[in-house]
Amino acid sequence: MSHTAHIPSHRKPRRSASKIALRAGVAGGVLSTLAVAAAAGTANAAESVSETIEMPTLSTDLSAQIAQSADATQQAADTYESRAEQDAAASKAAKQAKEDLAKAEKKAEAERKAEAAAKKKAEEERASRSAERTNLSTQSGGGSTSASDSVAPASGSVGSVISFLKAQLGDAYVMGASGPNAWDCSSLVQAAFKQAGVDLPRVSQDQSTMGTEVGTSNLQVGDILYWGGKGSAYHVGVYIGNGQYLDAANPSKGVVIQDLSGYPASGAVRVL
């Protein structure tokens, strides 16, 4: 017998095919069970995630509420914007009104000053005319002269007539007025010649028939000019030389000096 006959073999004993098949079947079953469980778990996990992120379906009422809310928000924004624009316009209008008021007050103040200055000037001119009238009245003696004096007056009488007329420049024209600060055409001529002692009729028709008829091409200072027919004249004035005459023209002009070229007379009479 060999010296190794009693030493047991180190190789593992062979397993029978039936045991191997049995163990393989058990292992396969376990693995199948684990696979099914894993698949079920995975499915459950997937289902759980799907339920968590799923968005709710909007109902018709909810959609309407959202739309109404959006409309309300837009309307509020429009309202705020409109109010802002109105406030800006009101502020601009208030500023413009303030500026306009300041301009109006400034203009009114300027007009008041101008009116006061014009009034003062008119008073000064009136006082000056009154003083000149007083001097002329003193020079003429305030009385009438004889008929011969009226026919052939001294040359100084024409000067008193012209001086009186020029002292009335700027006075108003008022129909029927007879001075001292308002006249019509015939009352002014009557008052002027009275300074030279000549009494003339009150109205222009009668004044056109006084004295000696002279041609308008041969005029002398102091001649009475008339417009219209002799004896039916509707206007009178006095020739002052250099192609000019002085008259109480009309309400818009008052007492003024004018050129004969612009309004030629119909005729003239000479009483001085």
Question: CATH number of the domain that 245 lies in?
Answer: 3.90.1720.10
**What are the tens digits of pLDDT across the range 260-269?**
999 999 999 9
pLDDT value of position 59: 63
Q: Distance (Å, rounded) from C-alpha 207 to C-alpha 194?
A: 13
Reported as a single tens digit per residue, the pLDDT across 115-159 is 888 777 767 766 665 555 445 444 443 333 333 333 333 346 899
* pLDDT category of residue 52 using cuts at 50, 70 and 90: low
Q: Parallel, antiparallel, or unpaired: how do β-strands 244-248 and 172-173 relate? A: unpaired
Contact between 127 and 181 (Cβ < 8 Å): no
In a domain, 208, yes or no: yes
**pLDDT tens per residue, range 59-92:** 677 777 777 777 888 887 788 788 888 888 888 8
Is residue 123 situated within a structural domain? no
Per-residue pLDDT band for 15 (boundaries 50, 70, 90) equals low
Q: How far apart are the C-alpha atoms of 246 and 266, rounded to whole Å?
A: 15
Number of domains in the chain: 1
Residue 243 has pLDDT above 70, yes or no: yes
pLDDT value at 179 more than 70:
yes
Q: What is the rounded distance in angstroms from the CA atom of residue 113 to the CA atom of residue 121?
A: 12
The pair of structure tokens assigned to 51 is: 């339920």
Domain that holds residue 171: 139-270
Residue 177 lies in a domain: yes
Residue 21 binned pLDDT confidence (cut-offs 50, 70, 90): very low
Q: Is residue 214 part of a domain?
A: yes
Q: From CA 145, how far away is CA 84, in angstroms rounded? A: 89
Asked if 271 and 210 count as a contact pair (C-beta separation under 8 A), the reply is yes
Does the pLDDT of residue 218 top 90, yes or no? Answer: yes
Of 17-31, 97-111, 134-148, the least confident = 134-148
Angstrom distances, CA of residue 178 to CA of 172, 189, 257, 261:
11, 10, 19, 28
Once rounded to an integer, what is the mean pLDDT over residues 46-57?
51
DSSP class per residue in 46-100: HHHHHHHHPPPPPPHHHHHHHHHHHHHHHHHHHHHHHHHHHHHHHHHHHHHHHHH
- Contact between 168 and 255 (Cβ < 8 Å): yes
The answer, yes or no, to whether residue 238 has pLDDT greater than 70, is: yes
Residue 18 lies in a domain: no
Tell me whether residue 63 is in a domain: no
* CA–CA dist 110, 123 (Å, integer): 20
Which position has the higher pLDDT, 256 or 108? 256
* Residue 45 pLDDT > 50: no
Instruction: Report if residue 261 sits inside a domain.
Output: yes
Q: State residue 11's pLDDT score.
A: 54
Q: Which stretches within the chain are classed as H helix?
A: 17-53, 60-140, 147-151, 155-167, 185-194, 204-207
Supply the pTM of this predicted model.
0.46
The answer to the question of residue 124 being in a domain is: no
The winner for highest mean pLDDT among 37-41, 87-91, 229-233 is 229-233
Geometric angle at alpha carbon 246, from 133 and 185, rounded to 5°:
85
In degrees, rounded to 5, the angle at the alpha carbon of residue 107 between the alpha carbons of residues 105 and 109 is: 70
